[in-house]
Structure 1
Amino acid sequence: MRKKKKLKGLFVALLILFTAHNAVKGQEGDEYVPCQVMPNLITNYNEDLASLRIAYVVEYSPERRARFEQLDKDYLAKLAKIDFESLPQECKVDYILFKRDREENLRLSKMEADEVAKVSEWFPFAEKIYEVERFRRDGSKIPDSEALALLYAGFTKEIQSLRARLRADESLGVLNVYTADNIITGLKTALRSSYEFYNGYDPLYTWWMPMPYENLTKALTGYANDFREKLTAGRLQMDDSGIVGKPVGRDELISLLRYNFIPYTPEELIDIAMKEFEWCDAEALKASREMGFGDDWKAAQEQVKQTYVPAGGKPALIRRLFDESIDFIKGHDMVTIDPLAEEVWGLRMMSPERQLVNPFFTGGTSISISYPTNTMEVEDRMMSMRGNNPHFSRATVHHESIVGHHYQRMMNNRYRSYRSFGTPFWTEGWALYWEFLLYSMDFPQSPEDRLGMLFWRMHRCARVIFSLNYHLGKWTPQECIDFLVDRVVFERANAEAEVRRSFGLRITPLYQLAYMMGGLQFSGLKQELVDSGKMGLKEFHDKVLRLNAMPVEMVRAILTDQKLTKDFKTSWRYYEQAPFWK
């Protein structure tokens, strides 16, 4: 018996030693095991959130909002019980980011509640519809179908009366309209949930409810259309561009920048973009002179646009450019590339409708090719072909594939997959950083190629400038379009699509500036760690990809073992290290 106890003790000791060895190895290698408390907490939160989303399906309902708020409060309470100082560095970062996101969720939830309150007068029947869905979800009683049919009929008449008043109303703003649209979506979800549950199963419900339900849903659809017409009627449009958005204002921009660990003001970011533009101008002049256009780089750029491939030739071009990019990256041994990433990468065509808001190809597991179709007007076809010429495309194919979005997604799914701290400053910034890096390593093979890369670099500078000026209330959408056409030599149709995409309420106000700023952050981090000799280039790239997505300042905190506090605030003035590549 004593011998068995000794063997058991030896086994436990070896197991502890093995676990400790793997924990140290995990921080440097492929696994993440320095602690489990934060991965477990985040995983549990994500699973709880997924479960609540299944149970509480009614968008913008008070019940759903209150339940999600309670989830965030509960997990903040759990987080407060964790000894921050005892955590390893990566877990400290997880703690900071998890706390930040729960607090931000509560802030945004309050904003949503405030916006709903502003349009509540237009939905006096909403709470009774929410009650119908809650009754269905409980399931312990049989519905009074006759009373329900009369209730729905009453709601339909009430909406008809409200629609007449709405058409004459001039007080609603853009955000009011979007909020109302979201409320109506939630109400229709609630009605459909109940109808699909009972209809065909409950005999009385099936006899009473189909017509009242159909009439009510049609009335709500018409009501939603009336709200949306406010956006196109003219009063809510800032100009004649037809593009309607909602400038969020300086205070909200500051809040969003702090949330994303960007310590600069909007005005400072515009100044940075202008400095980057100056560098691009100087580089464009060099390429223009080599092409024989002297100092007229815009004329040289127009010449580059004329190199477009004929209709049907774009997929073969993208494949060739992809192969060139991969060969260059492998030839310089810049990052570890799993062969599976090359095997599963592919091509697909972008729909004409999608091209209205995305005039250039996009990426992920495959590249979605933006190129004219037979349904486009001839002038629009030519603009699309010129704007997607080989030199422009060569500049960014790696942005969308390897080592950009395609590989980012694969690595995120493999390493630290519990993390849910994605941000465009990491996603778009990392992909743009590679454009910066490859330009500095002479990846462009000709002055035409350099102008192609510079077009995109100017584009990213312009995004900072026009998006911030718009959200500061200084520029209209049309001024943003004109800026892209005049300053970056955009095709006008492409500029309109770019601006339309930028100001939809579904996109964060910081998304467009995140490309340039994230790229500058990664470039600054490379200078700090690689150019100083502290880390090899390939090692740096592999480590970043295996840490998963997060604000770049937090990547820096891990890689530099920076001193952290649980109430960490952004302070990294990354641009003060510029210029990185000049």
Structure 2
Amino acid sequence: MKTFLVLFSFLFVSLPVVAQQPIAEKITMYEADHGALNRKYSVQPSDEYFERFDRFYAGWLTNLESVDFENLSRAEQVDYLLFKNELQRSAYFLEAEEERFAKIEAFIPAKDNAMAFINKRRVGDSMEGKKVANWFSAWTEDISTAQSKLEAHGMLTKREAGFLGEAIEELQRAVEEAYKFYYQYDPDFTWWVEEPFSKWDDSLEEYQEFASNQFDAEKEAVDESGIVGTPIGEEEINRRLSFEMISYTPQELIEIANEQYQWTYNEMLKASRELGYGDDWKAALEYVKTTHVEAGEQPPLVKELAEEAVTFLEERDLVTIPELAKETWRMVMLSPEWQKIAPFFLGGEVVRIAYPTNTMTQEEKLMSMRGNNPHFSKAVVHHELIPGHHLQQFMNQRYETHRRLFRTPFWTEGWALYWEFVLWEKEFPNNPEDRIGMLYWRMHRAARIVFSLNYHLGNWSPQQCIDYLVDKVGHEYANAEAEVRRSFEGNYGPLYQIAYMVGAMQFYSLRMELVDSGMMSEKEFHDTILHNNSIPVAMVKALLTEKELSPEYQSSWKFGDYIQGM
């Protein structure tokens, strides 16, 4: 009996404990699965891509529903909510892209037959050369049919034409890849298919160019700026704000931005008076622009400003800065072409500097120098390097790396601008010229919310946005035009430009709650944020506070009910 009890006890203890798979592991598996499917179903957009990823996102959402949320740790609950939000967002944008595809797929020649050929190549099916040659001959005729159909349909929108051109180009790339799989390796295939493929390829390339330009540029340009974007409307703005876990309406954010602007304007008047320009703050701003360094001298200035910011932070023990982070950043110069859409700095591990080149006109040279003077640059170099984007990226690669999936500009740009708030309070700008430089950028960030949301709400045209930046912020006209073009024609999401100030307000509000109250030191607060990776700031708050979470969590955080310094 004793032997039996010992054996029973041993067997009982040895039985495996069924535990939940950690959410971080699920996220890692999801990313690996997503990557594998993305590589397999590489023709995007295509029917097979939409069908497979629709099932993929639905399957993972079902998988997540089986998790016992209440028995997760706080960090895992946050991971759960981040993962669920990402899946819902991905499924939503997949459906939106599929709807866009449905409007243009009729103009893609031999779409289904070409995909069948691509899929046969994926599994290495043998091909009968003569049959494939006939396919390509038929597909070449289909191109003429598709073009006639598109001509009969009339003009597309610029966005639709661009999407059609991209879809044709993507299909062409995949067919060419399939053709090269057999070409020269299969003698029969090579003998029969080489010429009909070449004709098809040339014809499709011509059609792709035609389709990409099948829009009325004059009709699309709503004003003299010539800038053509796609306003998304209030409903879509609200949906995207919900994915960012932001509970304000667009109009509320515009009102908050106007209040932030007014605070900045009042501070600008104070600095203008200090410089002897009275309330003519634009004259004071004009003076600051003339303090630019000579051509060729901007890189040494950037190095000096970067080192000044690091010294300032370390002397006040505000954030941990690893020695390797200080060692590994570097700089490059922006080309004249790049400066047309990015007239200031871009940053990260590599800071990209805007300054004149010999190919620019005299007017362009002066505008570049004036817009990148030392006092404007002092407010931006630390934004791009340390403690801004370079330090962020350095930490993102080392802590809670599974959360990089959830990166958002509201964390990335918000954090960098938040430091402009903090450094202002710490008197980093120690003369009126520096204060004007920092205030210029604060005005700019508030103005971004106002002009970009008004544009996407359908209230303003691009030209109105340009004029607003010139009038309210004191931008050079060309820089204002570049800013608006970048916002509406560049590769930025519709909410990207509001992310700077909105994210900064979120971080600052959280700092007031946790640091000003004495619950955390500044350094502890900043290090903790950096160690939890790039996530919606509402989830940063969830990690650092005790607010109860549930699987159906929706943020109701009102973080903009203050104005710094008032």
- TM-score range (shorter-chain normalised) is over 0.9
Does 1:394 pair with 2:378?
yes
Count of residue pairs brought into register by the alignment: 553
Alpha-carbon offset, residue 167 of structure 1: 5.2
Does 1:579 pair with 2:560?
no
Aligned pairs (5 A) from 1:28-427:
37-139=22-124, 141-163=125-147, 166=150, 169-230=153-214, 233-419=217-403, 420-427=405-412
The residue type paired with residue 454 of structure 1 is: L
Aligned pairs (5 A) from 1:438-449:
438-449=423-434
Other-structure match for 1:463 = 448
Q: Does the 8 Å contact 1:399/1:435 carry over to 2?
A: yes
Alpha-carbon offset, residue 259 of structure 1: 0.8
Runs of 4+ deviating beyond 6 Å = none
**1:213-240 C-alpha deviation (Å, 9 max, x unpaired):** 3333333333332233245631222223
Other-structure match for 1:478 = 463
Separation (CA, whole Å) in 2 of partners of 1:346 and 1:166: 49
Separation (CA, whole Å) in 2 of partners of 1:460 and 1:168: 45
Other-structure match for 2:479 = 494
Alpha-carbon offset, residue 480 of structure 1: 1.1
Question: Identical aligned pairs, as a percentage?
Answer: 45
SS at match of 2:34: helix
Separation (CA, whole Å) in 2 of partners of 1:368 and 1:211: 47
Does 1:436 pair with 2:421?
yes
Separation (CA, whole Å) in 2 of partners of 1:241 and 1:209: 49
1:435–1:197 distance in 2 versus 1, CA, 3 Å: same
Alpha-carbon offset, residue 205 of structure 1: 2.4
The residue type paired with residue 186 of structure 1 is: E
Separation (CA, whole Å) in 2 of partners of 1:492 and 1:218: 43
Alpha-carbon offset, residue 359 of structure 1: 0.9
State which drifts further: 404-413 or 147-156: 147-156
Separation (CA, whole Å) in 2 of partners of 1:76 and 1:505: 32
Separation (CA, whole Å) in 1 of partners of 2:302 and 2:251: 38
Does 1:515 pair with 2:500?
yes
SS at match of 1:484: helix
1:223–1:547 distance in 2 versus 1, CA, 3 Å: same
State which drifts further: 163-172 or 39-48: 163-172
Q: Does the 8 Å contact 1:57/1:189 carry over to 2?
A: no
Alpha-carbon offset, residue 168 of structure 1: 6.6
**1:434-455 C-alpha deviation (Å, 9 max, x unpaired):** 0111011110021111111111
Other-structure match for 1:563 = 548
State which drifts further: 189-198 or 55-64: 189-198
- TM-score computed with the length of structure 2 as normaliser: 0.94
Other-structure match for 1:503 = 488
1:481–1:209 distance in 2 versus 1, CA, 3 Å: farther
Separation (CA, whole Å) in 2 of partners of 1:491 and 1:258: 35
Separation (CA, whole Å) in 2 of partners of 1:218 and 1:465: 47
**1:287-339 C-alpha deviation (Å, 9 max, x unpaired):** 11111111000011011111111111111110011011111111111001100
State which drifts further: 409-418 or 49-58: 49-58
State which drifts further: 431-440 or 477-486: 477-486
Q: Does the 8 Å contact 1:524/1:575 carry over to 2?
A: yes
SS at match of 2:352: strand
Separation (CA, whole Å) in 2 of partners of 1:505 and 1:399: 21
Separation (CA, whole Å) in 2 of partners of 1:301 and 1:260: 35
Other-structure match for 2:539 = 554
Separation (CA, whole Å) in 2 of partners of 1:193 and 1:561: 54
**1:520-575 C-alpha deviation (Å, 9 max, x unpaired):** 00000000000011110000000000011110011001100220010111200111
The residue type paired with residue 556 of structure 1 is: K
State which drifts further: 282-291 or 162-171: 162-171
1:211–1:444 distance in 2 versus 1, CA, 3 Å: farther
Separation (CA, whole Å) in 1 of partners of 2:213 and 2:172: 19
1:190–1:352 distance in 2 versus 1, CA, 3 Å: same
State which drifts further: 462-471 or 175-184: 175-184
Q: Does the 8 Å contact 2:44/2:170 carry over to 1?
A: yes
Alpha-carbon offset, residue 261 of structure 1: 0.8
Alpha-carbon offset, residue 76 of structure 1: 1.3
Alpha-carbon offset, residue 470 of structure 1: 0.8
SS at match of 2:292: coil
SS at match of 2:83: helix
SS at match of 2:181: helix
Separation (CA, whole Å) in 1 of partners of 2:203 and 2:432: 60
Other-structure match for 1:29 = none
Q: Does the 8 Å contact 2:57/2:91 carry over to 1?
A: yes
The residue type paired with residue 300 of structure 1 is: A
Q: CA RMSD in A?
A: 2.1
Separation (CA, whole Å) in 1 of partners of 2:205 and 2:440: 43
The residue type paired with residue 475 of structure 2 is: F
Alpha-carbon offset, residue 461 of structure 1: 0.8
Q: Does the 8 Å contact 2:264/2:439 carry over to 1?
A: yes
1:398–1:83 distance in 2 versus 1, CA, 3 Å: same
SS at match of 1:258: helix
- TM-score computed with the length of structure 1 as normaliser: 0.91
1:453–1:54 distance in 2 versus 1, CA, 3 Å: same
Other-structure match for 2:16 = none
Q: List runs of 5+ in structure 1 lacking aligned partners.
A: 13-33
State which drifts further: 264-273 or 149-158: 149-158
Q: Does the 8 Å contact 1:357/1:500 carry over to 2?
A: yes
Separation (CA, whole Å) in 1 of partners of 2:192 and 2:292: 62
